[in-house]
Structure 1
Amino acid sequence: MASAVPSVSSSEPLPHSQMNRQGSDGKAEKFHEVGHIEDIESSRADHIIARNRNVSAKIQNPLHGLSKETLTDMADRFCQEHGFEEKQDLFRRAALVSQRPNDHEEIVELTEEDRFWLRREKTNKWDQTRALYFLIIVCSLGSAIQGWDNTGANGANLSFPQEFGIEHNTWLVGMVNAAPSITVGAVSAMLTDPINHFIGRRGTIFVTGLFCVFPVLGQAFTQNWQELFVCRVLLGLGMGMKITTIPIMTAETAPAAIRGALVMSFQLLVAFGIFFGFCSNLMFYQVGDNAWRIQLAAAFVPAVPLLLLIWFAPESPRWLMKKGRYAKAFRAFCRLRKSEIQAARDMFYAHCQLEEEREAFKGTTYFSRFSDLFVKPRLRRANIASWTIMISQQLCGINIMSFYSSTIFAEAGYNTKQCLLASFGFGLVNTIFAFPAIWTIDTFGRRNLLICTFPCMAVCLFWAGSMFFLDEGNSARVPIIALAVYLFTAFYSPGMGPVPFVYAAESYPLTHREIGMSWAVQQNNMWAAVLGLTFPSMLAAMKPWGAFYFYASTNLLAWCLCFFLVPETARRTLEELDYVFAVPVPVFAKYQATKWLPWFVKRYVFWQKSAKFEPLYKLEGVAGEGTEIERFH
């Protein structure tokens, strides 16, 4: 047991790092001396180690165990430091709710109005402010550009290689198609951290939106493949920062209970972009030799309302807090929440966690923050999980369908119109089956969606590849291939589709969120570039059936990686995820192999109702305590 804190004059508030908490013997203990591995740590250094190495898998509210007097002192000091003296009583109540998120009915200091709104956010979790939904919709428009461009290239692949005389140079065709992904992987995503640092989330989305208008339109006026390549490189320059910032923006503004569903609007609009891109391809494929130009240029459409409307949405309050602009942050929280008590609670809770994060992860420059991603254990584990999911999205082979489905159907024997109609079906299925994830991503969980869908996608690709051995004169040959592709897409859309960007956006602490997310997106697009660059040559060398078999196998590889390296993040606040990613990878992997998997086999293979489930995480004072999601890690 650590010694009690020396007496301090009650007239002077304690700094956050020296707040007292009641120990098991009734004596006060330093706030920073209470760790998340053992009940009490002996020093500040041990506390920081505890936040990075959570070997006993405890997820603890940073305010858990503090006395009411200490919480009041913290709230008062917070108000004095940030100019909220007139809101002192509000933040005192908010501090109590932050400490006991499930006990608002028992906190006597709360008003009836406070209880009404806290009760309602549990019974009516979708009852959110118009400002929140407006922000989500506007931000998501930016993701539609990505999907639309992919499908524009899909249709254009049937024409532009012939016009520029490169139809027999498969590597060159692949390089032009993959140019945006190459740029994102090589340069663009890595600029997200400094750009966000200086101009914020809204400013970054606006500036990058400009790159999604003019270079996209420029593609229609190119006279050779070099000019087309340059336009697509400029598109990638904006796209990388945009697709990195949008999920961060939505994750930082959404309530924990529906954060996954709201952040997945990014993928939902990508699916819509793919669908409308295929519609555009069908509309313009008969206009003549210039059809491919219109198909590529049409992708600028979603960027226009994005540029006009983004300034009417509130800035991310967590980014404002990071910059020390607490007054603006509170106004933003009030626009994004239904009541002041909810806004004050979320702000105070985020402030407490931000103070601890700043102590545990001292990254003052871009390069020191970058090195932290590989040096600090908590950040390194978030990296492993996020990169695993991002790379797995490419291993599953979906971008091959987005870029080359028309080419695949042409190889199977379809004409141009039939190829575009079959690809249109792919886009339609991708859009329809993205909707279930709005509900399942926060109830069934991110990890579980991946674990369940990867084997199904592998089976569909094995099936599609095998159908190429049917006689070409068999009228059922191509429809069955299309059916297998559609089923593959139906399993992809609610699982591997929305999860990667949701997961990466929430995995990193606020101090490293931009740089962590940017490097995760960099991995995603680097491998997307590899796929886009190599697939035309793979198709020529391995034939369609070999390419399908290859990606069926990589789906199984991705399943193994996600099973052992990716923890569940559903229904955790962004702050509580610090403790999820503080669990060492060997501890997590061993639990999956020796505890969870045997329980699952007994319970759901042999139907033994007596099988005893042993949870990985031990929850202390967090809002997700006792939820069904705890059965799935």
Structure 2
Amino acid sequence: MFSTTRRNGKPPVEKHEDSTSDFLKEHAPARRAPKTSVDLETQNLNAKLANPLAGIPREDLIVQATLFAEKYGLQDLTPELQKGALVAQDPTAFEEHELLDEKDKAILRRELTHRWSHPKTLYYLVILCSMAACVQGMDEAVINGANIFFATQLGINPEEGDRNQWLFGLVNSAPYLCCAIVSPWLVAPLNHYLGRRGTIFVTAIISWLTCIWQGLTNTWWHLFIARFVLGVGIGPKSATVPIYAAESAPPVIRGALVMMWQTWTAFGIMLGTVIDLAFFKIPDLSGIRGLNWRLMLGSAGVPAFWLAILVYFCPESPRWYMRKGRYRDAFNSLARLRHTKLQAARDIYYIHVLLEAEKDSNVQGRNRFFEMFTIPRNRRATVASFIVMFMQQFCGINVIAYYSTNIFVQAKFTEKQALIASWGYGMINWLFAIPAIYTIDTFGRRNLLLISFPLMATFLLLTGFAFWIPFDPDNPDGKRIAVVALGIYLFAMAYSPGEGPVPFTYSAEAFPLYIREVGMSCATAILWFFNFILALTWPRLLGAFGAQGAFGWYAAWNVVGFIAALLFVPETKALSLEELDQVFSVPTRIHAAYQLKALPHNIRKYIFRMKVDDLPPLYKHEGVIGTKTYAPGGAGHA
């Protein structure tokens, strides 16, 4: 597998040409401090990890591949490994290699022209990863319909006082409290000892058992404990599955497959609302009170059970095998995921040299968490990633995901109407997540955020203000419930292709390779912590401020999100590691000043279609605005 950076076969450049634009030079000539030894060491480390094979003569590369085969007991694959090493060095130059015959070249051409042509095993793995995402969505969503039943039965009806509002929020938020304070510490040891498949198996079993456990509780604190343990099934799985997909997928479709996590989590949320609706009319049996909400909570365990059974039919991550020194198993795994031995040999050799580069660069001996904040380039990436992860929660989306049924009931929907309306929200959330697979790599991460936040703020205000529309008991299907539903549906339409898919994609690429795992773990912890805060506080917020104030609160946060994205979140779409270093090396004050100048300029140019002079680009790789070399999703395009 290849890194996301572009590899052209050229050696890493130790001393880079000045990559800042004329705008940056003009506005900050005295502020650009010389790079420290730590900055230069980090830059050289990033370049080395970008392509460890760059600059090696072909003859030497063939010898190294031969030694690799001998060292790890792969002598029978020596010819394939020699060819694979040459292709791995520069995937675009395979036509010129004499060692490759016409059949080999045809295979590599087809890989480029038929990007979705892969073995059935790979698609089986994709289906399993999608099922894992669906399990998570159901784990999160089935509580939505159950909320209108269990709260009264367990004595925590939020309409009966402040204490109950807090307890009701605490029960709802329990899994995310676990995800924030317990799960991040379990991801590394589970993956280290059990592998990707083993981690998915264990977390699926936990999800299955705790879903059943939830349905057997009879006190609020017992339900809280069961849901807290459910977080052990949600957190490590949410961190492991995207890694598993990325490590197993070929480079041409890796981004799309990783994006599937968000898409199928949204599908799971929609399916959870379907389950809630299906069990709504289930009557109590003798000795069983609240059978409907118990079946709702327990139903999410069914796909988790099948996930646990089916996951071991997938091959293990080849990268995990190689970390354990099991190179034959790694090759066999890749051979199941690729059409030919040549492709498997290419990928196993490149994974090997990346792992060796990490060891040689003494990555393990560095305090990577500390360097997230002390090295300016890393700190800017950390701030940007934390902003998008925080705002994925405080944009207000999970208020709807967890409490939409209660919100619709408060708007004077009947309970059945509220469940149907929640299903409509889930369907829209899923359907509008699908276009993000295309738009995130064409329109850009930053542009999606800058459009999504104002729309979400507007639609949350619409939803909140709709509660001021008088309710007419003689016309229960009147304007009030129609406008509330419209506001929530429009909000979901704005969220799903924007702030929905961007955070995980952005965080995965913003950090340098050597701190990417640590950075992603911290960013994910931020997301889960504020997910807990949102789920905990919403019932009390609704009780204290009313629907208008509660929705207005999150509308205001979307305005904050727009400002934060404008000033502190650079574009990362389609950039190499070297270009990302350039982007995050621009001082924050310079980036913010440029964006404040670009915002009114772009409003006049792109919204009012006025003729205005072009702004100079902020980064050299953008070219000149208005030319073919300019990247419209770049930082200079607000």
Aligned with 1:535 (options 532, 535, 538)? 538
TM-score (norm 2): 0.83
- TM-aligned CA deviation for residue 38 of structure 1: 5.3
SS of 1:72's equivalent?
helix
CA distance, structure 1, for counterparts of residue 41 and residue 273 of structure 2: 51
CA distance, structure 1, for counterparts of residue 445 and residue 383 of structure 2: 16
CA distance, structure 2, for counterparts of residue 611 and residue 81 of structure 1: 58
Aligned with 1:50 (options 43, 48, 52)? 43
Superposition map of 1:501-516 within 5 A: 501-505=504-508, 514-516=517-519
Structure 1 residue identity aligned to 2:42: I
Pair 44,591 (structure 1): closer, same or farther in 2 beyond 3 Å:
closer
Pair 59,321 (structure 1): closer, same or farther in 2 beyond 3 Å:
closer
Counterpart contact for 2:174–2:231, Cα < 8 Å = yes
1:146 maps to 2:139: no
Counterpart contact for 1:361–1:372, Cα < 8 Å = no
- TM-aligned CA deviation for residue 375 of structure 1: 5.0
CA distance, structure 2, for counterparts of residue 611 and residue 171 of structure 1: 53
Aligned with 1:495 (options 488, 491, 498)? 498
Superposition map of 1:402-417 within 5 A: 402-417=401-416
What whole-Å deviation, never above 9, does each CA across 1:358-388 have from its counterpart, x for those lacking one? 34452269xx554454456665555434322
The number of residue pairs the alignment matches comes to: 589
Structure 1 range deviating more: 376-385 or 70-79: 376-385
Structure 1 range deviating more: 177-186 or 277-286: 277-286
1:604 maps to 2:606: yes
SS of 2:92's equivalent?
coil
1:292 maps to 2:293: yes
- TM-aligned CA deviation for residue 486 of structure 1: 0.6
1:526 maps to 2:505: no
- TM-aligned CA deviation for residue 604 of structure 1: 2.9
What whole-Å deviation, never above 9, does each CA across 1:49-95 have from its counterpart, x for those lacking one? 324689xxx99644444433443344344334333344333333333
Structure 2 residue identity aligned to 1:424: W
Counterpart contact for 2:137–2:266, Cα < 8 Å = yes
Structure 1 range deviating more: 326-335 or 505-514: 505-514
Counterpart contact for 1:257–1:571, Cα < 8 Å = no
Pair 83,615 (structure 1): closer, same or farther in 2 beyond 3 Å:
farther
CA distance, structure 2, for counterparts of residue 589 and residue 112 of structure 1: 54
Counterpart contact for 1:358–1:511, Cα < 8 Å = no
Structure 2 residue identity aligned to 1:174: G
1:37 maps to 2:36: no
- TM-aligned CA deviation for residue 548 of structure 1: 1.5
CA distance, structure 2, for counterparts of residue 83 and residue 578 of structure 1: 36
What whole-Å deviation, never above 9, does each CA across 1:318-349 have from its counterpart, x for those lacking one? 22233333332222222222333333333333
Counterpart contact for 1:36–1:50, Cα < 8 Å = no
CA distance, structure 2, for counterparts of residue 266 and residue 567 of structure 1: 24
Tell me what 1:622 maps to.
none
Pair 222,126 (structure 1): closer, same or farther in 2 beyond 3 Å:
same
Tell me what 2:349 maps to.
348
1:439 maps to 2:438: yes
Aligned with 1:480 (options 483, 498, 501)? 483
- TM-aligned CA deviation for residue 433 of structure 1: 1.4
Tell me what 1:249 maps to.
244
- TM-aligned CA deviation for residue 420 of structure 1: 0.9
**Identity within the alignment, %:** 41
Tell me what 1:136 maps to.
126
Superposition map of 1:302-341 within 5 A: 302-341=303-342
- TM-aligned CA deviation for residue 156 of structure 1: 1.4
Structure 1 gap segments, 5+ residues each: 1-20, 24-30, 620-625
What whole-Å deviation, never above 9, does each CA across 1:277-335 have from its counterpart, x for those lacking one? 11111111122433211111111121012101111111112222333333322222222
CA distance, structure 2, for counterparts of residue 22 and residue 552 of structure 1: 49
1:386 maps to 2:385: yes
- TM-aligned CA deviation for residue 615 of structure 1: 7.5
SS of 2:94's equivalent?
coil
Tell me what 1:18 maps to.
none
CA distance, structure 1, for counterparts of residue 103 and residue 120 of structure 2: 20
Counterpart contact for 1:334–1:340, Cα < 8 Å = yes
Pair 51,324 (structure 1): closer, same or farther in 2 beyond 3 Å:
farther
Counterpart contact for 1:143–1:266, Cα < 8 Å = yes
What whole-Å deviation, never above 9, does each CA across 1:188-236 have from its counterpart, x for those lacking one? 1221012211211111111111110111101111111111111101101
TM-score (norm 1): 0.83
SS of 1:287's equivalent?
coil
Counterpart contact for 2:446–2:571, Cα < 8 Å = yes
Q: CA RMSD in A?
A: 3.4
CA distance, structure 2, for counterparts of residue 547 and residue 43 of structure 1: 47
Pair 398,93 (structure 1): closer, same or farther in 2 beyond 3 Å:
same
Structure 2 gap segments, 5+ residues each: 1-7, 19-34, 284-289, 623-627
CA distance, structure 1, for counterparts of residue 338 and residue 498 of structure 2: 29
SS of 1:497's equivalent?
coil
Tell me what 2:584 maps to.
584
CA distance, structure 2, for counterparts of residue 328 and residue 232 of structure 1: 37
Aligned with 2:207 (options 180, 200, 212)? 212
CA distance, structure 2, for counterparts of residue 22 and residue 276 of structure 1: 47
